[in-house]
Structure formats: C-alpha cells, structure tokens
Amino acid sequence: MPPSDPQNPPREGNRIAKLLARAGIASRREIERMITEGRVAIDGKPIDTPATILSSLRGVTVDGNPVQAPAPARLFLYHKPSGLLVTERDPAGRPTIYDKLPSDLPRLVPVGRLDLNTEGLLLLTTDGELKRQLELPSTGVERAYRARAYGTVTQAQLEDLIEGVEIEGVRYGSINANLERRTGANVWIEMILTEGKNREVRRVLEYLGLKVSRLIRTRYGPFLLGDLAPGEIGEVRQHDVVAFRRDPTRTPAPDHAKPPASRSRGDRTAAPAKTDRPYRAPKPGPDAADPRKAPRAPAPAAIKPKRFYDAKEKGGVTPTKPARTAARSDTSARARRTATDPRRKEGELVDRPRGPAPGARPAKPARPGAGKPRPSRTRR
C-alpha cells in the first residue's frame, strides 16, 4: 500500500453527482449532463466537473433552487406486466413502466432490469446507494425466477448448472435450477441466481436446448412478489429496509419454518411466535449442552409491502372483484318440474297415482277381511 501524502491528504466525502442522486434530483448521468450545462452551483458559483468531492449538500443549488438533505431510503415492489420497458424514455415510443406508475409517487429508479417480455417483481427505490447495494453480485442477493420453456430437459442437466456455465465466452456463475413440472410439451423450471447478467436465464436455458415462452421473477432477496397483481405497486416498511441493509443476504423462511397461522377465537393453545421479535438465548440448564434439544431462533419472514397504489389512472392493470353469482330462485325444483310437465292439464294435478308400468307383475289381491278390525281377545 503506497504511503499517504501528508501534503495532499485524501478528502472525505462523496462525489457531488452521487450526493445529488441520493437526494432524488436525477440519475448520475443526468446530473453529469446538468453540471456540464452549468446548472449546478455551490454558494452561487457553478461547478464544471462532476468529480467535485463534498461532505454534504450545504450551499448546493440546482437551477437556482437549494437542494434539501436526502430523505431516508424508500423501497417499492412493483409487479411489472409483460410488454413494458424498464427505462425512463424510449426513442421508439414504446410504453415504459413510468407511463403506468401512479403520478403521486416520488422519483424512483429501478433496481436491475427486466426484459420487455419478462414479468414479475421489480424493485424501485429513491436511493441510489441502496440500488447499487441490491444490484452488486458481491452482495450475494438472490433472484428467483420461474420459466416456462418448450423442449426436453432432465434434472441432472439442471443440477450441472450449480457449477456455472460458459456460453459464447461469457461466464455465468452458480445457478440453482429445479424442474417443477411438465405440462404437455412445456416444462416449468425454477432458477435461483445471484448475478443477474443481461438475459442470463434465457441464454442458459437456450444453451440447454429450451425455448423460453414465459419468464416470471418471483423473488428478489427477502422481497416476494406474493399476491401483488400485475400493475400494482406496494411500499416496503421502513424498518424492513433498515433490516435488509444490515443483512442483505437473508432469505425468507421456507414454508415449514414459518410460524403457524394465527389462533381462532376459541383456540386456547399457545400463541404463535412473532418473527419480528428479537430472539433471546435460553438460560443455561441441563438441556443447554445438547444442541438437539436447544430451541432454534425463528427464521426471518418474507417482506411484504405495507400499502398499495392504484395504477388505474395511467392504464395499469388492477385486480377486479369476482362477480357475485345470481341468487337462487325461491321456486322449488318440484314446482318447476310440475309447471313444465307436458301431462299437466288445466286444473289437474300431475302427482296423481300412476298405473302399473308395462311388463310389471300384477298386484296380489287383498285377503278377505283385510282392513276390518280384529275382535279383542279376552282371557276366560
């Protein structure tokens, strides 16, 4: 490591483009363009380089307006429908996600990208540093996808992807792939990866001889798509964002590790443990030395959004309530059959005694004296 120069000590702080991006002014590239145009100034003096190092935004103005201190990072979960581009604007005029998002949201930047025909979970944030933390492969944040592909593949071929694969000179890291089910000539495959390179899932499956017809991202780290309808967006709670930044590699608990459902009113059993309650180690006892008898800490639960925004005003797809079935008529089935019976005549009942069926045995004649009361028997 080279010795530090005492005459030119390293300056503490960040580039002004990074600070302005964190404050939600614009993207770093857009801020660099604004600096070149002379729209950014410090204490009234325009700056000419985006490499300016600052410790805070005190005295910084953009177009003559002072810049406020950056607010806490906010994170949103968006169910991207197929057919939308993940970009702010498209030169060809194709629709983008910003054309469908509600207008009352703050300035949001996407975490990663989803292709035009890829759907599912897309993370949006107001903080550029959080965006970079989520995107870097070194962070180790998992991405889960479900792919429907045409062709034939075996589980052994998918398990070989755990060692990574090189396709046309591009090295793809470890991929955990599992064959879910087959539906006719198509297969459903679940894939979990941590790199997220451009079109990685499609290229790997094409390398195996499959043609992807549908691709859905279902999870990004601990954030799940869940029951978020296409076109809907929800915000993650602030304490969940803080917890994620402390431990970005944690994943949601599997189904068997999640706490049981809440109790009914009449249930008198013990209440389920809350996953957000801090775990406390048990006191030393006779069973503390045996790890098989020691209680385990609860696994982290999946993070879900706290409130939803309606994207209907911009043409987004919103969930519709199922139509209620028509009420059943009060007329009984017997009355309906009677009204439509062709044997029915005016003023005559249909349920009169019917004659014997053709080919049936004749009824036995009644015995003599049948129906008469028997005389009472008295003992003499």
The 10 Å Cβ neighbour count of residue 230 is 18
3-state class of 201 per DSSP? helix
pLDDT at position 122: 94
pLDDT at position 282: 45
Cα dihedral angle (85, 89, 93, 94), rounded to 10 degrees? 10
pLDDT at position 287: 46
pLDDT at position 297: 43
pLDDT at position 219: 93
pLDDT at position 144: 94
Low-confidence ranges of the chain (pLDDT < 50): 1-4, 6, 9, 253-301, 307-327
Q: Which two tokens stand for residue 3?
A: 């010795």
pLDDT at position 51: 81
pLDDT at position 158: 92
Residues 282 and 288: beta-carbon distance below 8 Å: yes
Residue whose C-alpha is closest to residue 146's, from 232, 83, 75, 224: 224
Residue whose C-alpha is closest to residue 33's, from 22, 23, 21: 21
The answer for residues whose C-beta is within 8 angstroms of residue 215's C-beta and 6 or more apart is 115, 117, 118, 119, 120, 145, 146, 147, 148, 201, 202
Residue whose C-alpha is closest to residue 66's, from 57, 74, 75: 57
| Interatomic CA distance for residues 143 and 215, integer angstroms | 13
Residue whose C-alpha is closest to residue 48's, from 40, 56, 57, 60: 40
Residues 76 and 220: beta-carbon distance below 8 Å: no
pLDDT at position 354: 58
Note the Cα 219 to chain centre separation in Å: 6
Total residue length of the chain: 380
| Interatomic CA distance for residues 163 and 302, integer angstroms | 28
pLDDT at position 333: 62
Q: Which two tokens stand for residue 223?
A: 């954030």
Q: Which of 90, 104, 115, 240 is catalytic?
A: 115
| Interatomic CA distance for residues 41 and 26, integer angstroms | 15
351 as an active site residue: the answer is no
